[in-house]
Amino acid sequence: MSLIAAWGLTKQFGDFTAVDGIDFEVERGEVFGFLGPNGAGKSSTMRMIGCVSDPTGGALRILGMDPAREGTKIRSHLGVVPQQDNLDEELSVAENLYVYGRYFDLPRAVLRPRIAELLEFVQLSERANDHVEPLSGGMKRRLTIARALISEPEVLLLDEPTTGLDPQARHVVWERLWTLKRQGVTQVLTTHYMDEAEQLCDRLVVMDRGKIVAEGSPRQLIERYSTREVVEVRTHGQVTVMAEALRRLGESPEAQAREELYERVEELPDRVLLYTDQGERLVALLGEVEHESVLVRRSTLEDVFLHLTGRSLVD
Amino acid sequence: MARAAVVPSTRLAVEYWLLTYRRNWKGSILTSFLSPVLFLAAMGLGLGSLVDAEVGSGRDLGGLDYLDFLAPGLLAGNAMMLAVNESTYPVLGGFKWYRTYMAMAASPLRGRDILLGHFTYMAFRVTLASFVFLGVMAAFGSVSSPLAVLAPFCAALCGMAFATPTAAFVATRINADNFSTYTRFVIMPMFLFSGIFYPVSQLPIVLEQLAWLTPVWHGVRLCRALSTGSGMNWELAGHLAYLVALILAGTLIASRTFTKRLYE
């Protein structure tokens, strides 16, 4: 049985529908992601899974229980890393873990060794007795993750786990989350970073305007909704003019059938994307079109999102 | 991973507040001590000598020296002030700045544990400060009945009669914009016109009747009766009932506004 399952899950705030009838299942041991831009309904979904917000429609089961009736019991099996840190800045690093463990009624004798172990795990042992306030953003985030683990939860919920962190701090957090994954900890996360989703998620759903628009592993999604490669062409001149030239290129006799050369053309404000399975060959033909620079890269989830919604993930 | 289900309780939420209190109890006790010392010295002794000479201790103050009249009133008034402080910024902070309540809500604790946990802690703070106040009163020689030992509890009731509706209101606020208006134009007038500094019978009848409605007047009457040992009668049960009713009503409303804010 799935650890978490939702059917037609809906959340309305007055007239506004934040989550619009979504279905998903999370299996034990997997890392499951909600990928989408800000305002897609990811955090609202996460709050419903965390049993701090009642669904206004549909059904939700977590560990086989109904959050409307057994919220307290469900929450005792969850570890939550909220989007906005809510550590107690006046308490020490270790006290933050202690006090949170007490909310789960864990006795001091259990907490003491566990706190030492968790601080070791998130590389904060030397800061155990320091105040939280002067810690860096990355350290606070790691401490919040340690705090979420204090009750040995069955599911770890992470809402935008690395938003606001610098690249180095992000990698440290990712590395810790991989380690947890290897230990078999089920993780549910939201992100608007496609690289984060690709790095961490076994399976994910792409959300847009409260709806799920695609579901699968990062690789499946890219195979299904994008091409193997993307040729990015930049220009000093007008993008629309260049896009037109590129479209004609696809129709030229040398290119033979347009489908063979590329599948789609996407126009962005500063560049044109050509979705293709033969990037190098396409680049060889570009000499005929005036452009500034060209780059061939792998398709990413960003391309999947662009294809599905016509918009970029990060605005 | 199997573990006995957690039984959430208010006690666990109170523990958090006590842990934070352990960090700054010294400063808080010092403040609780200095404030009555200053007030009783300046007004009880300073102003009081003038009042006693003019009025001739007795008639209008129910046979009391001004200091003995003032001190128990201030005990209740002080509890009100402290309780209002504790139920404004810290409560909004719990939702907004420190997000303590939100952290608790993600754990097995229920909305009522979060609310009652904080209220219990507020009551503890106010009771403690009121005992310090009573100690200062005793040092000034203005305690004349052993029943005075009960006065800090009544002061705490008076404080909570303010704290619970205040917290209920604060839970509906986006920011702290109205807090100083509330303190200045709602709480301060009660402090000045509810029988702390002079009997409300000195007021025009309309204001006197208005004063009877304020929780602080009831708290003042209780504390004064207990610290002086005079006027012990059934009227006091009425004061107690009034304060308890306000606390219950405030808690009920707060449980609604808190639930709405926590789980919207």
Q: Determine, for residues A86 and B16 on separate chains, whether the beta-carbon distance falls below 8 Å.
A: no
CB-CB: which of A88, A89, A105 is closest to B6?
A105
CA distance A66 to chain B (A): 15
Whether B20 and chain A come into contact, CB under 8 Å, resolves to yes
Q: Is B86 inside any structural domain?
A: yes
| A153 to chain B, closest Cα gap in Å | 8
Closest CA in chain A for residue B112 = A72
The three-state secondary structure class of A151 is: coil
Cβ distance of A86 and B102 shorter than 8 Å: yes
Q: Is residue B8 part of a domain?
A: no
Count structural domains, chain B. 1
Q: Residue B93 falls within a domain, yes or no? A: yes
pLDDT of B51 higher than 90: no
Residue B215 lies in a domain: yes
Q: What is the mean pLDDT of chain B?
A: 92
Task: Note whether B6 contacts A13, CB cutoff 8 Å.
Answer: no
The pLDDT value given to residue A241: 83
Domains of chain A in start order, with CATH, are 4-216 (3.40.50.300), 227-298 (3.30.70.1510)
Residue B4 domain flag: no
CB contact under 8 A, A103 and B108: yes
In this prediction the ipTM stands at 0.89
Residue B222 included in any domain: yes
Q: What pTM value is reported for the model?
A: 0.91
Cβ–Cβ gap B99/A100 under 8 Å = no
For B41, phi and psi rounded to 5 degrees? -70, -50
Instruction: State the pLDDT at residue B169.
Output: 97
The answer to whether B104 and A103 have CB atoms below 8 angstroms apart is yes
Count contacts between A and B (CB, < 8 Å). 81
Percent of chain B beyond pLDDT 90?
A: 81
- Answer whether A104 sits within 8 Å of B262, measured CB to CB: no
Nearest by CB to residue B110, choosing from A72, A82, A98, is: A72
Q: How many angstroms separate the CA of residue B119 from the nearest CA in chain A?
A: 17
Q: Flag if A104 and B107 touch (Cβ within 8 Å).
A: yes
A82 chain-B contacts, CB cut-off 8 A? 99, 102-103, 106
Q: Which domain holds residue B208?
A: 25-262
Q: Name, in order, each residue with C-beta under 8 angstroms of A62's C-beta and a sequence gap of 6 or more.
A: A3, A4, A49, A51, A74, A78, A155
Higher pLDDT, A285 or B104: B104
Chain A positions in Cβ-Cβ contact with residue B21 (cut-off 8 Å):
none
Q: Quote the pLDDT of residue A256.
A: 57
pLDDT tens-digit map of B3-43: 555 567 899 999 999 999 998 888 899 999 999 999 999 98
Give a yes or no: residue B2 inside a domain: no
CB contact under 8 A, B109 and A103: yes
**Residue B262 in contact with partner chain A when CB distance is under 8 A:** yes
Is residue B183 pLDDT above 70, yes or no?
Answer: yes
Residue of B nearest to A90 (CA): B20
Please list the pLDDT of chain A residue by residue as tens digits (315 residues): 799 999 999 999 999 999 999 999 999 999 999 999 888 999 999 999 999 999 999 999 999 999 999 999 999 999 999 998 899 998 999 999 999 999 999 999 999 999 999 999 999 999 999 999 999 999 999 999 999 999 999 999 999 999 989 999 999 999 999 999 999 999 999 999 989 999 999 999 999 999 999 999 999 999 999 998 999 999 888 888 888 888 877 666 665 555 567 888 888 888 889 898 888 888 887 777 778 888 999 999 989 998 998 877 665
**Structural domain contains residue B1:** no
Q: Mind giving me the DSSP string for chain B? A: ---PPP---HHHHHHHHHHHHHHHHHHHHHHHHHHHHHHIIIIIIIIHHHHIIIIITTGGGTT--HHHHHHHHHHHHHHHHHHHHHHSHHHHHHHTTS-HHHHHHTSS--HHHHHHHHHHHHHHHHHHHHHHHHHHHHHTT----GGGGGHHHHHHHHHHHHHHHHHHHHTT-SSSTTHHHHIIIIIHHHHHHSSSSS-GGGS-HHHHHHHHHSHHHHHHHHHHHHHH----STHHHHHHHHHHHHHHHHHHHHHHHHHHHH--
User: What is the per-residue pLDDT across A76-118, written as a single tens digit (0 to 9) for each?
Assistant: 999 999 998 899 998 999 999 999 999 999 999 999 999 999 9
